[in-house]
Structure 1
Amino acid sequence: MVTTALITALVILGALTIFQALLVFDRPLGEYVWGGKHKVLPEDLEFWSVVSIAAYVLFAILLWRRAHVLDNSYHPVIVISVWVFFALVVISIMLTAFSPSRKERVMMTPVCAVLAVATFIVATS
């Protein structure tokens, strides 16, 4: 079950990374993120998309480590970090669920919910 949850989380994080990269390269997908006010993101939101990409990569590594794929040792910093990531994903569920953008609510809320469940399973492993 942990392996399935890890793979699910990694696939979602990979897809979100690609999605954010498309936004950085001015693809007209902005209605699905950051409140949906812009089809093409302005530079300040592009910056936050780059920050998101870095965070997704970090979170993927942390989940990978927490699932004991890279090693079998116990690292309290990794355990705490994964729980912090879980909390951020739960917050993102609420933020996307109440977004003014219907497209963001419909697409991103379920994605965040699945990521939260997968993260919770890995966090409790």
Structure 2
Amino acid sequence: MIAAYALTALLGLLTVFQFALIFGAPLGRFAWGGTHRILPTRLRIGSAVSVVIYAVIALLALDCAGVIDLVPDAVSTVAMWVVFAYFVLGIAMNGISRSKPERYTMAPLSALLAALSLLVVLS
């Protein structure tokens, strides 16, 4: 259960970060390949989609951990394995970014999210 809460908290912090990007904060070097200081409209839309994905992941993690009951256990378990794979892919994608700030912050963060997701699904 602690891993689910930690995962949810990190996703909350990422949501704040994505909202900052959506509203024009000059943090683009940490996201979407790091090529834009302030994100163009298409990447701001991508950040908005990310916020929705983070919310779904948080709900799935809390469901899988038994904190809430939204979907059958089998569904949340399979979904959390998909989430784990998603974050593992994130490690690779952030790790090959041309942006050093993105590589050095988001790749380790993705690794932490993957580890927490794995702990949730195995608990």
Q: Which residue of 2 aligns with 1:89?
A: 87
- 1:71-95 alpha-carbon deviations (Å, 9 max, x no partner): 4x85222111111111000000000
Q: Which residue of 1 aligns with 2:115?
A: 117
TM-score normalized by the length of structure 2: 0.95
> 2 CA distance for matches of 1:62 and 1:4?
14
Instruction: Give the fraction of aligned pairs with identical amino acids, expressed as a percent.
Output: 38
> 2 CA distance for matches of 1:70 and 1:61?
8
TM-score normalized by the length of structure 1: 0.93
Q: Give, as a single letter, the amino acid of the residue that structure 2 aligns with 1:61.
A: L
Following superposition, the deviation at residue 114 of structure 1 comes to: 0.7
Partner residue of 1:53 out of 51, 54, 69: 51
> 1 CA distance for matches of 2:2 and 2:107?
21
RMSD: 1.2
Matched length: 122
**Unmatched 5+ stretches in structure 1:** none
Q: Which residue of 1 aligns with 2:68?
A: 70
Describe how 1:31-42 pairs up with structure 2 within 5 A: 31-42=29-40
- 1:22-71 alpha-carbon deviations (Å, 9 max, x no partner): 00000000000000000000000001000000000000000000000114
